[in-house]
Amino acid sequence: MKALTLKQPWAELILQGRKKIEIRKWNTNFRGEFLIHSSKVPDKDAMEKFGFKDLPCGFIVGKVNLLDVKKYQDEDEFIEDNEKHLATSEWGRYGFVLENARRINKIPCKGKLGFWEFDLNKQIY
């Protein structure tokens, strides 16, 4: 199954339903369900900004569906969706539109860049 690594607290915000669009600098043709992996190193500034002190890092923590990718053409359009992505345009102009985020039992593993394959039947430690 495909997986995507995100720093905390961004992974947690998706699981809570507060972040419905993941901003990236790259596009993808992939659509469908993927695993959410939290990287070993959190985004310390964002942890403080959103009031988190301790979140699981270095684990598969959930699943979510990628419905579509939105290409932001200008800053006004990007700002309109701010409550959905919680980011700045320096993170990129491609918005991965997400739905149906849910937690799963944590699985420790190392992440990778971009979408990567994780075998749920063969856990990597």
Q: What is the pLDDT of residue 123?
A: 57
Whether the predicted pLDDT of 124 surpasses 60: no
Q: What is the mean pLDDT of residues 51-57?
A: 95
Taking all residues of the chain, what is their mean pLDDT, rounded to a whole number?
94
First to last CA, the chain: 17
Put residue 49 in one of left, alpha, beta given phi > 0 → left and psi -120 to 50 → alpha: alpha
The CATH code of the domain that includes 103 is: 2.30.130.30
Q: Is residue 35 part of a domain?
A: yes
Query: Two tokens at 34?
Result: 């993927």
Domains in the chain, number: 1
Written as six digits, the tokens of 20 are: 């419905």
pLDDT of 71-92, one tens digit each?
999 999 999 999 999 988 888 9
Query: Is 123 a domain residue?
Result: no
Looking at residue 72, the DSSP 8-state letter turns out to be -
The answer, yes or no, to whether residue 125 has pLDDT greater than 60, is: no
Distance CA 16, CA 102 (A): 8
Q: Which residue's entry shows tokens 């500034």?
A: 45
Examine the pLDDT at 103 and tell me if it is beyond 70: yes
